[in-house]
Amino acid sequence: MSMHRETFWALQRKAAPYLFVAPFVIVFCSFMVYPLLNSIWLAFQFTNGPQSSVFVGFDNFLFMLRDPDFWTALKNTAIFTLFSVFLQLPLSLGLALLLNARWVRGRNFFRMAFFSPHLVGQVFVALLFSLIFLPHYGLLNRALHAVFGVGLDTKWLMNANLVMPALVLTSLWMYVGFNMIYFLAALQAVDRNLYEAAMVDGASRWQQFLHVTVPGIKPIAVFVIIMSTIGSFQLFELPFVLLKGPGPDNSALTIVMYLYNTGFSTGDLGYASAIGWVLVLIILTVSLAQAKVTGLWKKNV
């Protein structure tokens, strides 16, 4: 009896970790690893709907290189990423620095105010901003008119040159407070004694920022840069709902929208997989480059 019991206890202890990871591993293998491997195979197929497929070698990739829509999508996505990352980060850091001052009152209120847009999903933001960008009646034109005297008839969503600024502005609203939370956490983790030591050494505010703050928050800053770049490259919902498609002159066509249109409107899953892998390569290359340039792997960060 007690022998039995001991072997049972030893057995359940040995089996426990396998049972604990099993649900995850089963789903992970069926719906992530397998589709991932399958998508490599699919990328070399011509498909018409999910049932029929023919091996076409590198044709999908060669077609992509010659398809002007792909280049438009790539250009739009890259411009969006560049502007949204480079506008968001300094603004997020600036907000975090302001809020981090010891004498700031109502820190929690401001934190919530800046963060709250992040709670609204991209589809809902797009619905809301489709009215905010309206000519004549929209909140944005009214605000610009009231503050700068700009005319009320700016057609943000109908003018190919203004679509991208509208998207960047909207994403700025959505993510500036979200990134600020990361910077704020990083700033609060910087050792206060370092500032005192710098002050004793006669360092100015600017020197303190450069030699204490910047190195202190660098790991998080790199993390935020890479995360927002990856997120920006995946832009889809916002333009898809805001402009009900690729917008005037394809000015809001993004890589994921291009993938969605070819894969699920036209029904070529093979081509959609090929686009997916090109997106993977672009994102990996850009994030590795960012990690290298910012010295993420140097010992002294």
Partner 1 sequence: MEKERMKANRPMANPARRMGGAVLPFLVHGVLLALAAIMLAPLFWLVCAAFKSPEDLFHYTFASPHPTLHNWRVLFEKEPVFRYVANSLFVSSALTLLQLLTASLAGFALAKYEFWGKRPLMTVMLATMMIPGQVLLAPTYKLINHMGLIDTYWALLLPGAVSVFGIILFRQSILQVPDDLLDAGRIDGCSEFRIYWEIILPVSRPMVGAFTLIAFMGAWNSFLWPQIVLQSRHLFTLPIALNNMVDLYSQEYGALMAGTLLSILPVAFLFALLQKEFLAGLTSGAVKG
Contacts to partner 1 from residues 42-61, by CB under 8 A: 42, 50
Residue with tokens 């109908």: 158
Q: How far apart are CA 279 and CA 273, in angstroms?
A: 10
- Per DSSP, the three-state class of 15 is helix
Residue type for 285, please? Answer: T
By CB under 8 A, residue 127 contacts partner 1: yes
For 117-155, give one letter per residue: b (16+ CB within 10 A) or e: bbeeebeebbebbbebbbbeebebbeeeeeeeeeeeebe
* Cβ closest to partner 1, residue 7 vs residue 116: 116
* By CB under 8 A, residue 233 contacts partner 1: yes
Q: By CB under 8 A, name the one of 2, 4, 90, 103 that touches partner 1.
A: 103
Point out which span in 71-79, 82-90, 116-124, 148-156 binds partner 1 (CB under 8 A).
116-124
C-alpha separations of 74 from 43, 108, 129, 135, 259 in Å: 18, 39, 24, 29, 11
Q: Which of 120, 144, 164, 203 binds partner 1 (CB under 8 A)?
A: 120
Q: Does 167 bind partner 1 (CB under 8 A)?
A: no
Among 223, 248, 286, 294, binds partner 1 (CB under 8 A): 223
**148 binds partner 1 per the rule CB under 8 A:** no
* CA distances in angstroms from 158 to 25, 130, 214, 297, listed in the order given: 48, 11, 42, 45
Stretch that binds partner 1, among 66-74, 79-87, 154-162, 231-239 (CB under 8 A): 231-239
Q: Is 152 in the site for partner 1 (CB under 8 A)?
A: no
Complex with partner 1: residue 163 or 272, whichever CB lies closer = 272
In the list 2, 90, 109, 153, the residue contacting partner 1 (rule: CB under 8 A) is: 109
